[in-house]
Amino acid sequence: MAVNKSLGNLFKGDKVIWMIFFFLCLISAIEVFSASSSLTYKGGSYLAPIIKHLGILFLGIVFMVFTVNIPCRYFKVLTPFLLLFSFVTLIWVLFGGQSTNGAQRWVSLLGIQFQPSEIGKGTLILMVAQVLSATQTEHGADRKAVYWIAFGFVIIIPILLENLSTGLLICMVIYMMMILGRVPVSQLGKILGVVVLIAGAALSFVLIFGHAKQTEAPEQTLTENVAPQKEEKGIFGSLFHRADTWKSRIYKFVKHEEVPPEKFDLDKDAQVGHANIAIASSNVIGQGPGNSVQRDFLSQAFSDFIYAVIIEETGIIGAVFVAMLYVVLLFRTGRIANRCENNFPAFLAMGLALLLVTQALFNMCVAVGLVPVTGQPLPLISKGGTSTIINCVYMGAIISVSRTAKKAEKLTKSGVTEKK
């Protein structure tokens, strides 16, 4: 009885969110094990990739349980420290980061390699939630809230320069949080207009100065297995070296040409081509877990294109089930936020849920060919290091909020008002 009570105290919070989390972890373990077949061939060990992935998942769960047991009000204390840490490490990665597959996104601190952009995303959500909650009035957020949120661009700009899709993702989430925070419609309209102008200028810059490269069959690499940057670059090259990749991806997506199957070059468009084959060869129930064929040809089958492998192995049923897990996560978090007595935990929970679900939507749209390749992993399912652990922390924060909301609901029913 004592053991059960201890476990109950450890895994407190909304049970639905816990179930969604463990379902995602289970799917991750099965599909990463299946999709890592080529890694086992190259590494010479059948179990090494999945053991490493399970170890990272376990570490993520440890961080998640720790976060669940932190009262939500203490998250505010971390905001200034996380903002400073994120800014310093993001500037560091621009000029001295480590790269893989042409993406310079990792830094090493005290022997630990991590992606500053993953920490930066959560930090911005935390900051925006704090600003929106502090500026709430009877008629919505004060007009000054937008100016405080604009300070977040000191973090967003470095993310955009190195990882465009992540920068766009966090901008979309912040805009949705501002809508939920009832920022004046006139300000939302102006922000949207400015964003359109900046996006148009950025697109023009990429199309003018970028060089669309011919894609070759990529060498098999781990998503977070980094190698030292060998190519010498100037300041301009360090800041805008991804322009060529952006132009190439935009060009391929916009250029709609009907290519006969016999003329399709799988060596030139391996990722997209094999992802399409994986989806086309599926059916209602799929080929069965572990029976994917295209996993052996997709260099990022365990990460960026894992949703295509899920569709191939589990069919439409599995694809819909995975998508519904994220949808239920969003709606369940909405119910939790609605029960919160204070604005900060409500905005924080919704911001983190929107971040996870929007990123999942990005990944799924890439897998089925609706948007250009973005490099966004499927949260809590794709193989990864920093991203997996940070996403577990996000889930832990949502469950921490659910503990406060549940307590507030009980106190309200008993006629007691709790002040924090």
Query: pLDDT tens digits for 118-172?
Result: 888 999 999 999 999 999 988 888 888 998 998 888 888 888 777 778 888 898 9
The radius of gyration computed from the CA coordinates of the chain, to the nearest angstrom, equals 22
Share of the chain above pLDDT 70, in %: 73
pLDDT surpasses 50 at 420: no
Token representation of residue 160: 């955009």
Coil, strand or helix: which one is 200?
helix
Taking the whole predicted model, whether its pTM rises above 0.85 is answered as no
Query: What are the two backbone dihedrals, phi and then psi, of residue 181, each rounded to the nearest 5 degrees?
Result: -80, 5
- pLDDT of 82 higher than 80: yes
For residues 321-325, give the mean pLDDT. Answer: 96
Give the separation between CA 45 and CA 22, rounded to whole angstroms: 27
Q: State yes or no: pLDDT of 327 exceeds 90.
A: yes
Q: Specify the higher pLDDT residue, 224 or 126.
A: 126
Among 191-200, 210-219, 273-282, 380-389, the range with the most confident prediction by mean pLDDT is 380-389
How far is residue 227's CA from residue 101's CA, in Å, rounded to a whole number? 9
Using alpha carbons, select from 118, 371, 96, 364 the residue that is nearest to residue 224.
118
Please check whether residue 127 is in contact with residue 349, taking contact to mean a CB–CB distance below 8 angstroms: no
Is the pLDDT at 45 greater than 80? The verdict is no
H or E, element range at 144: helix 144-149
pLDDT band at 367 (very low <50, low <70, confident <90, very high): confident
pLDDT score of 334:
95
**pLDDT value, residue 61:** 94
Residue 186 has pLDDT above 60, yes or no: yes
pLDDT of 226: 45
Question: Residue 400's pLDDT is what?
Answer: 93
pLDDT band at 215 (very low <50, low <70, confident <90, very high): very low
Residue of 383, 337, 376 lying closest to 355 (CA atoms): 376
**Residues 359 and 169 sit within 8 Å (Cβ to Cβ):** yes
Higher pLDDT, 236 or 101: 101
Q: How far is CA 381 from CA 21, 40, 65, in A?
A: 10, 19, 18
User: According to the model, what pLDDT value does residue 419 have?
Assistant: 40
Tokens 């890592």 — which residue? 36
CA–CA separation, 305 and 74 (whole Å): 37
Helix pair angle (306-339, 270-280), 10° resolution: 80
Q: How many CB atoms lie within 10 A of CB 419?
A: 5
Of these ranges, 34-38, 112-116, 385-389, 404-408, the one predicted with the greatest mean pLDDT is 385-389
Question: In whole angstroms, what is the distance from residue 348 CA to residue 395 CA?
Answer: 11
Which residues, at least 6 apart from 221, have a Cβ–Cβ distance to it below 8 Å?
Answer: 100, 101, 299
Hey, what are 52's tokens?
């490493």
The Cα 223–Cα 220 span in angstroms is 9
Mean pLDDT of the chain: 79
> What's the one-letter identity of residue 135?
T
* Position 93, amino acid: V
Per-residue pLDDT tens digits for 289-306: 888 888 777 777 788 888
The answer to whether residues 315 and 285 touch, using CB atoms and an 8 Å cutoff, is yes
Across 53-57, 60-64, 299-303, 406-410, least confident range: 406-410
Are the CB atoms for 180 and 213 separated by under 8 Å? Answer: no
In this predicted structure, the answer to whether residue 240 has a pLDDT above a threshold of 60 is no
